[in-house]
Structure 1
Amino acid sequence: MEIDKIKEMLEYRFSLTPELPQKRHIIFWYDSKKEFKDLIDGLNLENVKIIKLTKSIDKKGELIYTNIFKTKYTLEVEDTNSNYLIYSEYPRVIDSENYLLDIEKYSEFFEADKSAMIVEELKLDRTNYRFGEIIREYSSFFANKERREKLIKLIEKPEFLDEEEFKLSILAVISSAKILDIGEILKNIILNRNKLQDIEKWMNLDFLFSEIKKKFDVEVNSFEQFLKILMITHFYCELQKRPHINLENYFKGRKNELFIFTDSLLQNKQTSEIIRDEFYNLAKDLNIKEKIDELELDDTIKGTAFEYFDKVIIKDIVEIFDSEVIDYEKYKKYIEIRLDNSLWSEKYYSFYKILFTINDFFKLKDSLIIEDRKELRDIFKDYTKTYFLVDNIYRKFYYYYDQIKTNELSTLFNNIKTKIDKFYEVDYLEKLLALWSSKINERENLPQQRDFYKNNIEKYDVRTVVIISDALRYEVGYEISQKLRKEANVKEIKLDGMLTDLPSRTFLGMANLLPYKKERKVDLISGKVTIDGIDSQGTENREKILKATCEEASAISYSDFIEKMNRSKQEEFIKGKKVIYIYHDTIDAIGDKGKTENNTFNACEEAISNIVNLSKLLSSLGVVNIYITSDHGFLYEKKEVEEYNKLELKNRKYLSIGKRYAIYEKEIEEKACITLKLDELYSVFPEKNQRIKASGNGLQFVHGGASPLEMIIPLINYKSGANSKKISKVQVRIRESVAKITSNLTKFAVYQLEPVSIKNGFLERDIVVALYSGNVRVSDEKKLKLNSIEENSIHDFRLTLSGEHKKVTLKVIDVESGDILDSKEYDVSIGIASDFDF
């Protein structure tokens, strides 16, 4: 030890105010190992006198002190005011032979061994000898300066530290915990199991296990045993079931504390994956998979700690759906619970979304009737109100199915997939298309695509942008309008339907959306439309046509506007314009190619995202009035088209042919087709969903025909601006109840005040609920989705309270914003816990 350090330690001791009735410090220093005898003569202490006890050999040959009596006389007679350090390089003698014992009793002692130095370094209570013992017991830990420095930083008030807190601090440093909390220490050990070896090397595991006993009231002799207790307790507490007889030894202690600690590990992003892997390996030893297999779905739905829960739940729900005896609201709720609470929800997201879709499919299937309407106008209304949802659900099903089809669980959906295909083709398309075809001659009585500019653009004085997406059919447009209602700054949004001309092809649909002054010439054979002498194909030509009617007009492709322009260039492009057409092509670009038509539904999702984001961008650039529409829709079946759905035309004298139409100079008849007069020509169209055998790309994605899916296109009018009123989320209130908690496991409820309704401006809300003591959460946390379409609907949940509290507060918190939406204080009065008060 350096003399400067010893001097600092001694001067600090002498600087302290003496405890009454003493007026000075007398400190004895017995340096029995003679480690500092060479330093004592050079030790100069301010306002302190030093007496060095000396020894010599007497006549009997014994070593005795030679200045004991002189020292005693000095301290008690000659000088009773000065501070003294009494140093001896010899061990302290026994009390019966100690002539200075009476002075020692009202004096102090000093040690300069390593443990004492560390006590001084850590600024611990010097009068507590147990600190020195602990330091000596864990000497290998304290041998490292870096660990001591971490300990100094961790201990906030060392002068008030007790022995257990001191040992906990050492444990915290070894485990790299930032606070003195056994839960945090255990979390760090789980994050890095090497910490367990360090504890065993520098401290031993006994204290760790004693702290586990103190916190959770469980005795363990290994960390693996502790993890098994965590796993089994969480497993059965979450399911609210008694443990299997073979697992009772792992279901003990303070179950609430164990459950909430485990749940916090599982929910924490930092620890979740590691603890799940630990549980997976431990579960093999305890045969947890078998225990899950024994559960009913109503119980399994609550489980979160094992991925196997998700596999079993998906399998069970599919089997229920396959039976077609379905409580739609119940299973919708179950799927929502899994999406919100499963720790594997990201991995199984597409599975749960496809289950949602199947639930919606069977619900719609049970209620859908293709009514035998007398007028096409009524069929049009039925389609734009209800029937289109079948197309939407069919598309969603296959969009998610494509994402899971390589997973081994995808085979579970084989029967349902077959049912959906059959229903879509036979019970839906064949019936609807046959009915539509029978009334198609009345099509002029419906809103026409060719009247778009006259009816919508000419009447506006404000800047208007028209987004035209190739092959955007009505049901995809519906989804865009729904997303805009939820995500955008909406003042007004309307969705209507328009009817394309025939054949429902790009060249005709794109031309129909443009204005003309004098004449519009349509050549159905070459597939060309000339407007006032200008070919309507291509963005440049379309801009010329627009400018002929409105000088402050322009046209641009989506890719040029988004990918080739930054915001300042976009602002410059829009500046001074009255009418802007933006052409988007994602769906048709994918679907119209045989090699990529299988990706049609992926292209639809991409188109929805593109157009919603483009609309919001335009709104941010100051565009108030936006139209979203299309040139035509499409007919698409995911499965390969069967031979019976392929038509071989008998009359080969067509002027133009496609997969869904053939144009002739004269009127003809073809089996399973309808014949319509188009200006001076005639065309045949498949009556139902058949494809005409013709050269060219694939048969799954087609358009040009006379079905509502190809002819009815969306017309979305989205208005936004500074005065726009944002749609709001539903409000929530805690249900009134007795303000007292009498059980560790308590049922609560919240009211969802408004029904979810796009029309009335209320969106669903995700919340979390938990009990708090101050700002500290003292229960597990439940996630709820407030998405009921009923007013004042009730959402029930249970929370497990841990620890002892006089009062706690239930808080309802919005997941997105973190705002506390409602809170309520409860008195806690829990008697003897029952077997199910985990």
Structure 2
Amino acid sequence: MTSRIDAALSRLFEKHRIVFWYDEKKELRSEFEELDITGVEKLEILNNEFSVKYRVLRELPKQQFLIYKEGQQPEPLQNWLLDVELSFTTFRTDQVAIWLSELELPSEFSEVVEKHSAFFDSGRSPAQAVKRKETLKKLLTSEDSQSLVRMKMLSVCAGANKKGEDRIDNVLELLLAELHKAKTPLYSLIERCGLDEFLWQQVERHYCYSSDRPSIKDFSIELFKSCYSMGLNTPLNNTPTNLSNDALVFFKRWKDSRTHEVSFESLSEECSKLLNIENDLSHRDLKELIELDYFELIDRRVIHELVMAVEQRTIPQGEIALFCRQRRQGHWYNKYKHLYSAVDVAAQFFALLDTVQLSMANSTEAVQGYTSHWYKLDQLYRQYVYALKVSSQNTLLNSLTAKVENQYTNRYLLPLNNSWQQHVDQMSNWQVPDVIPQSQFYKQWVKPYADKEQKICVIVSDALRFEAGHELLSRIRQEDRFQASLESVLSSLPSYTQLGMASLLPHEKNALNIADNKTGTVRIVSQSTQGTDNRDKILKGVFGERGSALQAKQVLDNTFTENRKLFTKGCVSYVYHNRIDHTGDKMQSEGEAFEAVEKTFEELVKLLKRLASADVYNVLITSDHGFIYQNKALEESDFLANDVKGDVLYNDRRFVLGKNLNCSSALKVFSAEQLNLSGDVGAAIPKGVQRLRLSGSGSRFVHGGATLQETIIPVISINKKRESDIAAVEVDVLRGGTNVITSGQLSITLYQTEAVTDKVQPRNLRVGLYTSSGKLISDSHEVLLDLTSENPREREMKMRFVLTQDADGANNQEVLLKLEEPVVGTNHYKAYKQLSYTIRRSFTSDFDF
């Protein structure tokens, strides 16, 4: 006890020269006599008031005094030292007084401390009580009112222990967070401390929640119910909304909090069942739900409706894209993003298929048509199948998938290649006028660098077909300082790995030949081109030590120093990457071919960055061949009988190699000379997209044939610049003809000034309404501006802000609409733009009629 009294008195002497001590119960004399506070003289009142006053005011006017009286404090009219006492302070030794002293609170807070004594009482858990007091003391300021002190006590009980967290919204978030757990110690502590009544008073004042038996559980149900109703044309069960706009603002903040994500989702699921949300959603229109994300069931309902709309073509593709984009801001978007992607690309696929014309007067027009726009259907089909597989929602998408498969095969893949086959049938040699053949790749793209002894790296990604190359081009250009362009070449035929890889290497005209054996190996004159080692020999034979052939894995695994040693000045390096073909060529994994394409994009961009770090700034990406992939199981009519006669050396699903071949009209035979090869080994190619049966091989992923998908391959030329060449898109605010806010809501339109491209990148913004002092007085929206439309009207994004009660304090004052963007790699934001508004709300705007 003495140590606590000593500490309490020491604190008082830090602020006061004279301290009075009335020992009302006459039980602390020994403590008074034992006290020895440096610089403090002790005096006792024993009918000597005049001499005490004279000593403390006249004799030693700067000395500190502790004036002790055993007994009660005299009545004011009987207290001869009252003037001195009022000028300084009094030390009380009851428990409440000690607590006030420890907190450095004046006596007017006695009622607060006494009413909530359990907050300070160390009876149950001394360590926790001490910790609560220490935390509370750090939060207190000299300007705190009794209500603010209670609010801070409430915050400490709830675990909001930092300055600025002592607000009712933070307290409620913490109490809601423990609601989905088996025990609720925070709320139990609030009740034990007698702060529950204050809690519910604050909740009613801020959010208009009122109940005869208030509880966190009941509040959570009312919160979900009211906020859901506020976002609908008609409220849930046609019952009135009880909570205020501030409750909606609180709800949105809680929903979007990463800290409380788990508790929100748990309570959302529970409340959806209690409120029978599933039944209510079944009666709602899609457009009514598109901006709501309070229950996971909303996403499921929206996706179900979108799937049906795309399949039945009841909503235009533009609206589907808009709906999917709006859902990006939703709480559960990441969980369902692949389903939204599947819906979006399926709608694009059907819309494009409706407009495409597969007419081709000659083979040159066919290649031009494919590389300018037809390839997009292959791309959308791949993107749809990829989204289908990673979403694992085959049942939901079953009917839509069947339609996509049917349309892709019967309206695009078959008609396209049947028309193309007519031109192939007329070819006397495998070539297309005005289209560079793969065998000239080295001469066209690599030799200009080699002749100048400039460092050049060729990345050969096995089975990277043209449509995938087009998407890769976009991804590369999105990287800062990387410039890239795309061209196409006609692959060698048959379009298989050995011949494609050989065609890309430096060689003289007619030097390529297929070995006269059963391996399918391709040689340059007599040198085998199979494998990295043989290709390395060929390159070193041309360039000496400047030439090299490497595997991509080696470059990716190397350190920066090791790669700099590999890629020396004037080097000509071929780097081989194989994921798509490695995956698709196996029966067990061919169904993962499109996932392999996605992985290839990631690996090639990473490889580019590794090369750039080794000072390789000029890079070419190409492929040995393309491929056909059909996700559904093939029918019997998709296969041909292998009736090829002659000296057959090698069989594959899309070609046969041999000498003196002949067959039915279902296949086309090319001699070695017609294939621009030397030697005697030619090939028989199935017409269209049909396959030959091959034991132990898959049939959905194939290559080797003459279709456009197999033989039109990309050549991407990449150069890394020294200066940054990307920028975020600019955004303006369209606010109509006024800057005055006259109601409890504000509607604006964000306008993206140009379309997002590879180099003009999306901009993330956080938007909210603030007072001049920086206080948020509305809900806050986080938006991604990534619109790609060239139509300005389609680059507008409408937003609505709900004002809180705090906005009332800014009536007739200027407020700011702030647009802020995130600081990359942090949780902070920086200013982007702001606009001024004036709030001018009449008292009548508070009424609902």
TM-score between both structures, scaled by the size of structure 1: 0.88
1:170 corresponds, among 147, 153, 169, to 153
Which residue identity is paired with 1:659? R
The DSSP-based 3-state class of the residue aligned with 1:459 is helix
Q: Larger Rg: 1 or 2?
A: 1
* Residue in 2 that maps onto 1:801: 803
* Residue in 1 that maps onto 2:129: 147
Q: Do structure 1's residue 230 and structure 2's residue 223 form an aligned pair?
A: yes
* Residue in 1 that maps onto 2:778: 779
The DSSP-based 3-state class of the residue aligned with 2:749 is strand
Q: Work out whether residues 120 and 132 of structure 2, in 8 Å CA contact, stay in contact via their aligned partners in 1.
A: no
* Residue in 1 that maps onto 2:684: 684
Q: Hey, what's the Cα distance between the residues in 2 that align with 1:556 and 1:321?
A: 46
Q: Work out whether residues 518 and 532 of structure 1, in 8 Å CA contact, stay in contact via their aligned partners in 2.
A: no
Structure 2 unaligned residues grouped into runs of 5+: 179-183, 674-679
Q: Do structure 1's residue 390 and structure 2's residue 377 form an aligned pair?
A: yes
* Residue in 2 that maps onto 1:511: 502
Which residue identity is paired with 1:183? D
Moved more, 690-699 or 128-137: 128-137
The DSSP-based 3-state class of the residue aligned with 1:713 is strand
Alignment CA distance shift 1:454-1:114 (3 Å): same
1:206 corresponds, among 197, 205, 223, to 197
Which residue identity is paired with 2:762? E
Which residue identity is paired with 1:422? N
Alignment CA distance shift 1:823-1:511 (3 Å): same
Deviation at 1:145, TM superposition (A): 5.5
Q: Do structure 1's residue 823 and structure 2's residue 807 form an aligned pair?
A: no
* Residue in 2 that maps onto 1:706: 706
* Residue in 1 that maps onto 2:493: 502
Q: Hey, what's the Cα distance between the residues in 2 that align with 1:327 and 1:651?
A: 49
* Residue in 2 that maps onto 1:675: 669
* Residue in 1 that maps onto 2:747: 747
Which residue identity is paired with 2:767? V
2:336 corresponds, among 348, 371, 375, to 348
Q: Give 1:392-471 correspondences, 5 Å limit.
A: 392-405=379-392, 407=393, 410-440=394-424, 441-442=426-427, 443-445=431-433, 446-460=435-449, 461=452, 462-471=454-463
Deviation at 1:392, TM superposition (A): 1.1
* Residue in 2 that maps onto 1:118: 99
Q: Hey, what's the Cα distance between the residues in 1 that align with 2:65 and 2:621?
A: 95
Q: Hey, what's the Cα distance between the residues in 2 that align with 1:709 and 1:9?
A: 86
Q: Hey, what's the Cα distance between the residues in 2 that align with 1:820 and 1:291?
A: 41
Which residue identity is paired with 1:496? E
Q: Hey, what's the Cα distance between the residues in 2 that align with 1:648 and 1:833?
A: 84
Q: Give 1:618-767 correspondences, 5 Å limit.
A: 618-653=611-646, 655=648, 656-663=650-657, 665-666=659-660, 668-679=662-673, 680=680, 683-722=683-722, 724-737=723-736, 738-758=738-758, 761-767=759-765
Q: Work out whether residues 456 and 573 of structure 2, in 8 Å CA contact, stay in contact via their aligned partners in 1.
A: yes
Q: Hey, what's the Cα distance between the residues in 2 that align with 1:667 and 1:652?
A: 6
Alignment CA distance shift 1:165-1:444 (3 Å): closer
Q: Give 1:565-584 correspondences, 5 Å limit.
A: 565-584=558-577
The DSSP-based 3-state class of the residue aligned with 1:412 is coil
Moved more, 133-142 or 633-642: 133-142
The DSSP-based 3-state class of the residue aligned with 2:478 is helix
* Residue in 2 that maps onto 1:61: none
Deviation at 1:277, TM superposition (A): 1.1
* Residue in 2 that maps onto 1:252: 242
Structure 1 unaligned residues grouped into runs of 5+: 19-24, 54-69
Deviation at 1:566, TM superposition (A): 1.6
Q: Hey, what's the Cα distance between the residues in 2 that align with 1:672 and 1:111?
A: 108
Which residue identity is paired with 1:381? Q
Which residue identity is paired with 2:270? N
The DSSP-based 3-state class of the residue aligned with 1:704 is coil
Q: Work out whether residues 496 and 714 of structure 1, in 8 Å CA contact, stay in contact via their aligned partners in 2.
A: yes
* Residue in 1 that maps onto 2:144: 161
Which residue identity is paired with 1:821? Y
Q: Hey, what's the Cα distance between the residues in 2 that align with 1:554 and 1:701?
A: 31
Deviation at 1:762, TM superposition (A): 2.3
Alignment CA distance shift 1:114-1:448 (3 Å): same
* Residue in 2 that maps onto 1:62: none
The DSSP-based 3-state class of the residue aligned with 2:669 is strand
Alignment CA distance shift 1:77-1:456 (3 Å): closer
Deviation at 1:353, TM superposition (A): 1.4
* Residue in 1 that maps onto 2:676: none
Q: Hey, what's the Cα distance between the residues in 2 that align with 1:771 and 1:661?
A: 67
Q: Hey, what's the Cα distance between the residues in 1 that align with 2:727 and 2:131?
A: 53
Alignment CA distance shift 1:463-1:120 (3 Å): same
Alignment CA distance shift 1:786-1:502 (3 Å): closer
Q: Hey, what's the Cα distance between the residues in 2 that align with 1:201 and 1:149?
A: 16
Q: Hey, what's the Cα distance between the residues in 1 that align with 2:203 and 2:570?
A: 72
Alignment CA distance shift 1:447-1:126 (3 Å): same
* Residue in 2 that maps onto 1:486: 478
Which residue identity is paired with 1:189? L
* Residue in 1 that maps onto 2:185: 194
Q: Hey, what's the Cα distance between the residues in 2 that align with 1:399 and 1:618?
A: 29
Which residue identity is paired with 1:185? V
Give the root-mean-square deviation of aligned CA atoms.
Answer: 3.0
* Residue in 2 that maps onto 1:100: 78
Which residue identity is paired with 2:686? P
Q: Hey, what's the Cα distance between the residues in 2 that align with 1:330 and 1:419?
A: 20
Q: Work out whether residues 96 and 110 of structure 2, in 8 Å CA contact, stay in contact via their aligned partners in 1.
A: no
Alignment CA distance shift 1:833-1:318 (3 Å): farther
Deviation at 1:89, TM superposition (A): 4.6
Q: Work out whether residues 124 and 161 of structure 1, in 8 Å CA contact, stay in contact via their aligned partners in 2.
A: no
Q: Hey, what's the Cα distance between the residues in 1 that align with 2:332 and 2:269?
A: 13
Deviation at 1:106, TM superposition (A): 7.0
Q: Work out whether residues 130 and 163 of structure 1, in 8 Å CA contact, stay in contact via their aligned partners in 2.
A: no
Deviation at 1:435, TM superposition (A): 1.1
Q: Work out whether residues 742 and 830 of structure 1, in 8 Å CA contact, stay in contact via their aligned partners in 2.
A: yes
Which residue identity is paired with 1:810? L
Deviation at 1:721, TM superposition (A): 3.1
Moved more, 424-433 or 104-113: 104-113
Aligned length: 797
Q: Hey, what's the Cα distance between the residues in 1 that align with 2:495 and 2:219?
A: 69
Deviation at 1:450, TM superposition (A): 0.1
Q: Work out whether residues 490 and 727 of structure 1, in 8 Å CA contact, stay in contact via their aligned partners in 2.
A: no
1:598 corresponds, among 563, 582, 591, to 591
Q: Deviation digits for residues 188-215 of structure 1, max 9, x if unmatched?
A: 2223342101111233411211222232
Deviation at 1:381, TM superposition (A): 0.4
Q: Work out whether residues 463 and 578 of structure 1, in 8 Å CA contact, stay in contact via their aligned partners in 2.
A: yes
Q: Work out whether residues 528 and 535 of structure 1, in 8 Å CA contact, stay in contact via their aligned partners in 2.
A: yes
Alignment CA distance shift 1:265-1:14 (3 Å): closer
Which residue identity is paired with 1:673? L
Alignment CA distance shift 1:359-1:141 (3 Å): farther
Q: Deviation digits for residues 103-124 of structure 1, max 9, x if unmatched?
A: 5587455421121111111111
Which residue identity is paired with 2:584? G
Q: Hey, what's the Cα distance between the residues in 1 that align with 2:19 and 2:498?
A: 108
Deviation at 1:653, TM superposition (A): 3.5
The DSSP-based 3-state class of the residue aligned with 2:694 is coil
The DSSP-based 3-state class of the residue aligned with 1:411 is coil
Identity of aligned residues (%): 25
TM-score between both structures, scaled by the size of structure 2: 0.87
Q: Work out whether residues 466 and 629 of structure 1, in 8 Å CA contact, stay in contact via their aligned partners in 2.
A: yes
Alignment CA distance shift 1:50-1:309 (3 Å): same
Q: Work out whether residues 655 and 683 of structure 2, in 8 Å CA contact, stay in contact via their aligned partners in 1.
A: yes
Q: Do structure 1's residue 291 and structure 2's residue 280 form an aligned pair?
A: yes
Q: Hey, what's the Cα distance between the residues in 1 that align with 2:65 and 2:560?
A: 82
* Residue in 2 that maps onto 1:63: none
Alignment CA distance shift 1:71-1:387 (3 Å): same
